[in-house]
Amino acid sequence: MSTTPASDPPAGVHSLWRLRSYLAPHVPALAIMLGTSLGGVALSIAIPLVTKALIDGPITDRELGPVLPLGLLALALGVLEAVLIFWRRWVQSNAVLGIETAMRHDLYERLQQLPMSFHSKWQSGQLLSRATTDLSAIRRFSGFGLLFLVINILQVTVVTIVLLNMYWPLGLVVAATAAPIVWLSMRFEKSYVVVSRRVQDEQGDLATLSEEGAVGIRVIKSFGRSEHVAQQYESAARKLYDTSMDKVRLSARFWSFLEVIPNFAVVVVLLLGAIGVGKGLLTPGELVAFITLMLSLVWPVASLGVILAMAQEAMTASARILEIFDTQPDIVSGTRVVEQPRGHLRFEHVDFAFPDALDEPVLRDVNLDVRPGETVALVGATGSGKTILTALVPRLYDVTGGRVTLDGVDVRELQLPHLRQLVATAFEDPTLFSMSARENLTLGRADATEAEIAEALEVSQAGFVHDLPWGLDTRIGEQGMALSGGQRQRLALARAVLAQPRVLVLDDTLSALDVHTEKLVEEALQRVLSATTGLVVAHRASTVLLADRVALLQDGTITHVGDHRELLATVPEYRSLLAAETESEEVSA
């Protein structure tokens, strides 16, 4: 779902704060990170003070004895600072990766919980962008930006206090640089959050085009539209480039200004410090220490731009991720289970309309009783609601009126995992995954034996898998692109059969098969359907013959239920849905 900044929930500190629970398991690591960082700040201040003591003491007095101990002390402090930095980074890496992993797990789990109504509205590229780019932005800030935002502010504050105590006129010069930095940071934050959101949304749009170009490559090539699709991608990429350049220019102006401020302050300090030494208001050691401490502030101040940019990106990313976490699923698991499932399926006065079109019902007052072990074929014109009706059984969608029951229990009261073990669906447009044929087959039943797999392959006439380079262990490519349409349908049918459900839903599963293969599959399916309840969406008379009864769906409601031959003889609408030559073949059969 491509959104515009004006309609997006505002990003701010509160967005990051809502994700604080992910820090809880890593509190010890965070304490170590904070402690080592504070220790590093203390050491970075202590080393210039030791240098001051060295210059103003033994060097000024020309006493060589104390030089070696003070020099070794400065060296020891430097080594200790390096050790603390190493310790902090080692702990930091583990903690930050742990936070990102936990968030990625919860985000993926949430996406699995959200219903089809959610996924039908959101572009896959936008979801992919949130699961990758946005999580990375949060990881970078939580692992680097957040820590150094605290440490750098603390370092600037403490060093400024030390400088004020050391020589207050120069200390005021340093303190005065804070005013323009604060003013500029506030202006930068307001502008950067808007452009940052635009960049992240446009990255999602570009990811969508990339995915569609890869998945639909056969269609693109077959219509000769490669150049057209490439131009669409180029246009989106150019738009992202322009927005990203706006972001870069904004950041560059901010960082450049931050670079100028501390360097200008160093020049002023050198000038005033030299005058102070000349007048005896400062010792040479104090001036060296002052300048050293002053230079130690250059990086904390200059890095403020990077850190604030990271903070804005992380806040925007948090707001985008919270959009998903805050989406409440309209399909919630029940608590009941069917102890001894028989597969008695009933549609009782079922109505359905999509959430954004409640005044345009797809189904109206549908009533259908499918007895255990019975197979009913759904026949209807394109757009009559057959696919939606079958989707109500495993609760891919929920009814908006009436109810669907399984063995007398409303499916909304059943535990979702339990319901979807009892109901298996094979779709007309099968979805296969970039894994092996075996993994695709056993997706719904991981404990299936070799004999059961072989039987499912035989029923669906999917024995072609044994001819693949590595048999069942051959990876079949994303979306099963390495297979033909008929092969994908047969493999998806074998997956549904292997699940051994109490209710088997076939949504025009045989549409891509040739007549010979279809006949073999139908003969084998007769055996499977005799032991389970079947709901079959059919467009061919040959498929209708698999069923014990036929239900005619017209304009969203079931108008006739009966035997195929009976409906063929008495219902003109039913007769017109089947090809004339197929009708005559089936009547004579």
Of the ranges 18-32, 49-63, 463-477, which one carries the lowest mean pLDDT score? 49-63
pLDDT band at 223 (very low <50, low <70, confident <90, very high): low
Distance CA 268, CA 544 (A): 91
- Spatial contact of 266 and 293, defined as CB atoms under 8 Å apart: no
Q: CA–CA distance from 542 to each of 370, 523, 551 (Å)?
A: 20, 11, 15
DSSP 328: P
pLDDT band at 462 (very low <50, low <70, confident <90, very high): confident
Residue whose C-alpha is closest to residue 258's, from 292, 299, 294, 290: 299
Q: Which two tokens stand for residue 112?
A: 């699995």
Domain range list for the chain? 13-325, 345-429+503-588
Residues 6 or more apart whose CB falls under 8 angstroms from that of 305 comprise 188, 251, 254, 255, 258
Our measurement of the distance from residue 368's CA atom to the centroid of its chain's CA atoms, rounded to an integer in Å, reads 39
pLDDT band at 5 (very low <50, low <70, confident <90, very high): very low
pLDDT of residue 479: 63
Place of tokens 């104390």: 66
Q: Stretch 49-59: mean pLDDT, rounded?
A: 80
Q: Stretch 194-217: mean pLDDT, rounded?
A: 78
Q: Which two tokens stand for residue 557?
A: 């409601």
pLDDT of residue 52: 80
pLDDT band at 580 (very low <50, low <70, confident <90, very high): very low
Q: Give the tens place of pLDDT for each residue, 96-135.
A: 888 888 999 999 888 888 888 788 788 777 888 888 888 8
- What is the chain's length? 589
Q: What is the mean pLDDT of the chain?
A: 82
pLDDT band at 215 (very low <50, low <70, confident <90, very high): low
pLDDT band at 88 (very low <50, low <70, confident <90, very high): confident
pLDDT of residue 407: 94
Of the ranges 5-9, 23-27, 504-508, 565-569, which one carries the lowest mean pLDDT score? 5-9
Our measurement of the distance from residue 497's CA atom to the centroid of its chain's CA atoms, rounded to an integer in Å, reads 31
Angle at 346 between CA 340 and CA 347, to 5 degrees: 145
Q: CA–CA distance from 136 to each of 34, 150, 247 (Å)?
A: 22, 20, 18
Q: Stretch 471-490: mean pLDDT, rounded?
A: 78
pLDDT of residue 337: 92
Q: Give the tens place of pLDDT for each residue, 370-403.
A: 999 899 999 988 888 888 999 999 998 999 999 9
Of the ranges 33-37, 134-138, 225-229, 480-484, which one carries the lowest mean pLDDT score? 480-484
Q: What is the CATH number of domain 345-429+503-588?
A: 3.40.50.300
Q: Stretch 130-151: mean pLDDT, rounded?
A: 84
Tell me which range, 137-151, 198-212, 244-258, 396-410, is most confidently predicted by mean pLDDT.
396-410
Name the strand (E) or helix (H) holding 364: strand 363-370
pLDDT of residue 582: 52
Q: Give the tens place of pLDDT for each residue, 397-452.
A: 999 999 999 999 999 999 998 998 899 888 777 778 878 889 988 987 888 899 99
Q: Give the tens place of pLDDT for each residue, 293-350.
A: 877 777 777 677 678 778 888 888 898 899 889 888 888 889 999 888 999 999 999 9
Place of tokens 């604060």: 182
pLDDT of residue 144: 80
Distance CA 179, CA 201 (A): 34
Residue 164 in this model has a pLDDT that exceeds 50: yes
Residue whose C-alpha is closest to residue 140's, from 307, 379, 286: 307
Residue whose C-alpha is closest to residue 500's, from 546, 433, 452, 457: 452
pLDDT-above-90 percentage for the chain = 14
- Spatial contact of 282 and 273, defined as CB atoms under 8 Å apart: yes
pLDDT band at 7 (very low <50, low <70, confident <90, very high): very low
Q: Stretch 563-584: mean pLDDT, rounded?
A: 74
Q: What is the CATH number of domain 13-325?
A: 1.20.1560.10
pLDDT of residue 395: 92
Q: Give the tens place of pLDDT for each residue, 482-523.
A: 787 778 888 888 888 888 889 988 887 776 566 777 777 777
pLDDT band at 584 (very low <50, low <70, confident <90, very high): very low
- Spatial contact of 399 and 350, defined as CB atoms under 8 Å apart: yes
Is this structure's pTM higher than 0.75?
no
pLDDT of residue 576: 84
Q: Which two tokens stand for residue 17?
A: 């704060």
- Spatial contact of 313 and 381, defined as CB atoms under 8 Å apart: no
Q: Give the full edge-to-edge strand order of the sheet including 549-554.
A: 423-426, 503-507, 533-537, 375-380, 549-554, 557-562
Query: For residues 289 and 370, which has the higher predicted lDDT (pLDDT)?
Result: 370
Strand partners, 406: 345, 409
Residue whose C-alpha is closest to residue 343's, from 494, 561, 538, 500: 500
pLDDT of residue 496: 86
Distance CA 540, CA 6 (A): 50
